[in-house]
Amino acid sequence: MTKNHFHLLKTSGGARAGELLTAHGVVPTPVFMPVGSQATVKTLTPDDIKELGFNMILANTYHLYLRPGIDVIEKMGGLHRFMAWDGAVLTDSGGYQVFSLAPLRKVSDEGVTFRSHIDGSEHFLTPERAVQYQERLGADIIMVLDECSACVDGKEKVRQAMERTHRWAERCLRSHQKKGQALYAIVQGGMYPELRRQSAECLTQMDFPGYAIGGLSVGEPKEITLAMIGETVPLLPAGKPRYLMGVGAPEDIIEGVARGIDIFDCALPTRVARNGALFTGHGRVNIRNAAYKTMDAPLDPDCDCYTCRNFSAAYLSHLFRSGELLALRLATVHNLRFIGNLVHRIRESILDDTFSEMREDFLAGYQTTDEDTRVAQKQRWLKSRL
Amino acid sequence: MTKNHFHLLKTSGGARAGELLTAHGVVPTPVFMPVGSQATVKTLTPDDIKELGFNMILANTYHLYLRPGIDVIEKMGGLHRFMAWDGAVLTDSGGYQVFSLAPLRKVSDEGVTFRSHIDGSEHFLTPERAVQYQERLGADIIMVLDECSACVDGKEKVRQAMERTHRWAERCLRSHQKKGQALYAIVQGGMYPELRRQSAECLTQMDFPGYAIGGLSVGEPKEITLAMIGETVPLLPAGKPRYLMGVGAPEDIIEGVARGIDIFDCALPTRVARNGALFTGHGRVNIRNAAYKTMDAPLDPDCDCYTCRNFSAAYLSHLFRSGELLALRLATVHNLRFIGNLVHRIRESILDDTFSEMREDFLAGYQTTDEDTRVAQKQRWLKSRL
C-alpha cells in the first residue's frame, strides 16, 4: 500500500492537488489535520469532526504513551477504536514533544531519556520504540523519531541534531514492520538553508512514502519559515506527499500550498478559538471585544458552520464572558470549519488552475494578525542570533 | 392559554401523567428540565438537548439580568431566539439566587436590594420587576419572586419570609400581563409542616396556573424533604401542575412523582457529571476509579446515550484523567440521558398503572450514594435545630 500511498492529480504553479490512500479512506490533499494529541480534538466528538468535513486527524505518541499508555490503547483495539474515529489518523512520533515538553532530557545516539511532564517518571525512547509504539497504536501514517533543535541554536548544534535525525530515520525505516501504515521521514536543519538542503538530500535517498518538514514555526519570523520551506520542497520527490508539521494559520496554509505542501497540522485554530480569537474572511477577530455584546448577526455572515448558522455574535460573546463551556466548543467548530472551507477552496482552485488568483484574493481580504507582535518576535529572534 | 395550561391524563397511586401546553409545544409530564441558568445547558447545544429527548429547559432571571442583561436578550428577540432553542423554557424569578448567591441583601416588603456576585454592583428587585423581566425574556413558564429562608432558620423567621412571599405572589399575579405565559406560585414554609400547609392554602386561594414547592433540598435530610412534599401536595389543586424546585437526583424524582409532583429541575445530574460521577442502573459511580482505566465496555451497557453507544469506560476514564473538555460533555450527555430515560419509564408506568412496581424495581437496583455523607448531613441538621 505504501507504493500507492499518494496520487498527484494536478498542479497549479507550485500548488498540488492529490490524494492520500490510507487504510481508513482516501484523503484529498491539500489537507489540514485537526490536532487531537490525547486522542480527542478538544471539545469535539468524532461525529462533529466528520460533520466539519475532516477525514484525517493528528494524534501524539508522546502524550498517549504517557497516558493512558500504549498497552491500554492496544488492548482497546487501537487508536481508531479507542476514540471511535473511523477516518485516517497520523501520529507524530513524540520527538517534538520530548524536546519541548519533557524536562531533563539526555540524548545519545541510542535514544533519548526524558522525564514525564505529568508525573516526573523517567522514560527512554529510541527510534525503534517510537516506531513500535506507533505500530501498536495503529495509525495510518506514522512519523520517524527526530531530534528537534531550538530556533536559536547555533549551526553546529543544529547540524549534529540533524545528522542524528538522519541516523534515527534509517533505524526507523529498518524496524518498521506494519503493512498498510506509511512511515514519513522528517527533514530538519533549523534555520540554515544549507542544512535544510543536506537533510532533504540525505532523507530522499532513503525510500520513505512521505516527507515532512519539521522544526519550523517555532518562534522564527514568517519570512524565515517560508524561506526554509522554499529551500526544502524542490529537493523532495514530486510523487510523494509533503507534510509541513505544526503550521496552520490560514495565511500559512495558503503560503505553504503555494510552495508545494500537501499536508498541514496545527493546534493554533483550536487553541486560539478557546481564547475567543475567531477567523473571518477579514482576519482574526476577538469575540470578547465590546462591539460583539449586542451584535444581532452571526460572527461571520459568510460562514456555514453550526455556530454561525444558529447563533448571534452576541450569544457567543455572552458565553465567553460568562465562562461557559459551550463557548469553547462553538468557537472550535467555527475555526475548524473556516480552515476546512479554506482548504477546500484551495483544492478546487488548484483543480481549476486558478490557485494564484484564489491566493491573491484571500490574502488581499485577510488581515494577518498582530503586526506588532510579529515585529517584536522578529527582533527577539534577530537579537538571539547575534 | 393559562386555562388549558395543564391536562391531567392518568394517575397511578399518587403519581400523575399529564401534559403542559406551552407556546413552544406540548411537554409530557412528569418532566425533568435540564438547567441552563445562563441560557446554556453546560457543554451542550440546543440540538444535543433535543436529541437527548428534552423539550423544556430551565433558565434563570437572576443570572441573565446580571449578564448579558434583559435589554440585550430582548433586543435579540427573547430568550428562545438568543439561545436558538425552540422548545419550552421556564425561568426562575431569581429569588433563590438573590438569597443564595448575592452578598449584602436587604429585604423589605417593597423588594430586595442585593449586590451582583459578578461585579458587586447594587440592584433592587421587586415582585413587579421580577415579572416584568421574565415577560421580556419571553419564557413559557415564569415564577413569582419569593423570599427564601435557610433550612436552619427558626420558625418565626421562616413564617415572616413565607408571609412576605405570599404578599409578593399576589403582586406578581396582579402585575403579570403577558398572554401565553404561565405564572407559577411558590409554596414556602421551610421545614415546618404547619407553615407548609398554611402556604399551600394561602396560595391556592389565588388563581395561579401552576404551583411550585420551593426551599427544599437545601441541606435538610431527605426524609424531611419528602415529609414537606407530603404536607404540601394534598393541598394543591389536582388540575394544576406541581413543580418541585431544585430536586432531581434519580431516587428523588421517583419519590417526588410518587407524591404527585409533575415537574422537576436540578443542576445535580449535569454538575456531578462534570466531576465524573455517572448514573447507572446500580447507582452513581465515579469514572475516576482505577477499575475503569482498562474497561473495554461502555460505562453502562444498558444505556443508549451517544457516550455509551460510542465509547468505552476506558476512553471516558482517559478523558477525565487527561483533563480533556470532551469528558465533561460526554458525561453530561450520559447523565441527562439517564434522567430522561428514567422519567420516560416513569411516565409509561403511570400510563400503564404499574408505577409502584416500577418504583420498587428501580429503587431495589439503585444504590443511593454516600450513606455516610447523608448521616453526617442529618446529624449536622439535627444539631442546628437544638
The pLDDT of A100-104, averaged and rounded, is 83
Are A102 and A191 in the same domain? yes
Q: Taking the model in full, what pTM does it have?
A: 0.96
Residue appearing with cell numbers 482517559: B318
- Distance separating alpha carbons of residues B386 and B379, to the nearest angstrom: 11
- Residues of A with catalytic function: 92, 265
Query: Pick from B220, B247, B265: which residue ends a domain?
Result: B265
Please choose, from the candidates A319, A301, A330, A329, the residue with its C-alpha nearest in 3D space to the C-alpha of residue B72. A319
Are B200 and B236 in the same domain? yes
Q: B31-33 and B263-265 as β-strands: parallel, antiparallel, unpaired?
A: parallel
Are A288 and A342 in the same domain? yes
Chain B residues with beta carbon closer than 8 angstroms to that of A101: none
Instruction: DSSP letter for B147, please.
Output: P
Are B145 and B198 in the same domain? yes
The total of other beta-carbon atoms located within 10 Å of residue B194's CB is 11
| Torsions phi, psi for B289 (to 5 deg) | -60, 145
Provide CB contacts within 8 A for A142, sequence distance 6+.
Answer: A90, A91, A93, A131, A134, A135, A176, A181, A182, A183, A184
The count of structural domains within chain A is 2
- Band of residue A376 on the pLDDT scale cut at 50, 70, 90: low
Q: Is residue B82 part of a domain?
A: yes
- Distance separating alpha carbons of residues A355 and A358, to the nearest angstrom: 5
Q: What sign for the dihedral angle of Cα A241, A242, A245, A247?
A: negative
Q: Answer whether A116 touches B (CB < 8 Å).
A: no
Q: Is residue B381 part of a domain?
A: no
Q: Answer whether B86 touches A (CB < 8 Å).
A: no
Nearest CA in chain A to B290: A68
Query: Pick from B204, B237, B265: which residue ends a domain?
Result: B265
Chain A residues with beta carbon closer than 8 angstroms to that of B40: 319, 322, 324, 326
Q: A3: burial class by Cβ within 10 Å (0-12, 13-18, 19+)?
A: exposed
Please choose, from the candidates A264, A318, A262, A268, the residue with its C-alpha nearest in 3D space to the C-alpha of residue A290. A318
Q: Is residue B379 part of a domain?
A: no
Is there a catalytic annotation at residue B48? no
Q: Answer whether A322 touches B (CB < 8 Å).
A: yes
Separation in Å, CA of A313 to nearest CA in chain B: 10
Q: Is residue A16 part of a domain?
A: yes
Q: Is residue A386 part of a domain?
A: no
Task: Name the residue range of residue B339's domain.
Answer: 273-373
Q: Answer whether B371 touches A (CB < 8 Å).
A: no
Are B225 and B297 in the same domain? no
Q: Is residue B277 part of a domain?
A: yes
Q: What pLDDT is stored for residue A1 in this prediction?
A: 44
- Band of residue A370 on the pLDDT scale cut at 50, 70, 90: low
Cα angle A65, A97, A37 (rounded to 5 degrees) comes to 60
Q: B10: burial class by Cβ within 10 Å (0-12, 13-18, 19+)?
A: middle
Nearest CA in chain B to A274: B325
**pLDDT tens for chain B, residues 1 to 386:** 446 899 999 999 999 999 999 999 999 999 999 999 999 999 999 999 999 999 999 999 999 999 999 999 999 999 999 999 999 999 999 989 998 888 878 999 999 999 999 999 999 999 999 999 999 999 999 999 999 988 788 999 999 999 999 999 999 999 999 999 999 999 999 999 999 999 999 999 999 999 999 999 988 999 999 999 999 999 999 999 999 999 999 999 999 999 999 999 999 999 999 999 999 999 999 999 999 999 999 999 999 999 999 999 999 999 999 999 999 999 999 999 999 999 999 999 999 999 999 999 999 999 886 544 555 666 666 666 65
Are A235 and A292 in the same domain? no
Tens digits of per-residue pLDDT, A3-43?
689 999 999 999 999 999 999 999 999 999 999 999 999 99
CATH number at residue B101: 3.20.20.105
Nearest CA in chain A to B315: A82
Q: Write down the ipTM of this complex.
A: 0.96
- Distance separating alpha carbons of residues B287 and A88, to the nearest angstrom: 29
Are A316 and A174 in the same domain? no
Q: A375: burial class by Cβ within 10 Å (0-12, 13-18, 19+)?
A: exposed
- The beta-strand segments (E) located in B188-291 are 210-213, 242-244, 263-265, 277-280, 283-286
Nearest CA in chain B to A74: B294
The active-site residue, picked from B252, B265, B304, B372, is B265
Query: In this structure, are residues A173 and A214 in contact, taking their beta carbons and an 8 Å threshold?
Result: no
Please choose, from the candidates B203, B222, B117, the residue with its C-alpha nearest in 3D space to the C-alpha of residue B164. B203
Are A201 and A347 in the same domain? no
Query: Pick from B209, B241, B265: which residue ends a domain?
Result: B265
Are A356 and A247 in the same domain? no
Q: Answer whether B104 touches A (CB < 8 Å).
A: no
Are A17 and A142 in the same domain? yes
Are A280 and A236 in the same domain? no
Are A80 and A15 in the same domain? yes
The total of other beta-carbon atoms located within 10 Å of residue A334's CB is 27
Chain B residues with beta carbon closer than 8 angstroms to that of A45: 306, 310, 326, 329-330
Side chain identity, residue A310: N
Q: Answer whether B174 touches A (CB < 8 Å).
A: no
Alpha carbon distances (Å) from B305 to B85, B188, B293, B330 = 21, 37, 20, 9
Q: Is residue B383 part of a domain?
A: no
Tens digits of per-residue pLDDT, A194-219?
999 999 999 999 999 999 999 999 88
Q: Between chains, do A72 and B314 touch, taking CB under 8 Å as contact?
A: yes
Q: What pLDDT is stored for residue A10 in this prediction?
A: 98
The residue among B306, B324, B328, B333 with the most chain A CBs within 10 A of its CB, best to mutate, is B324
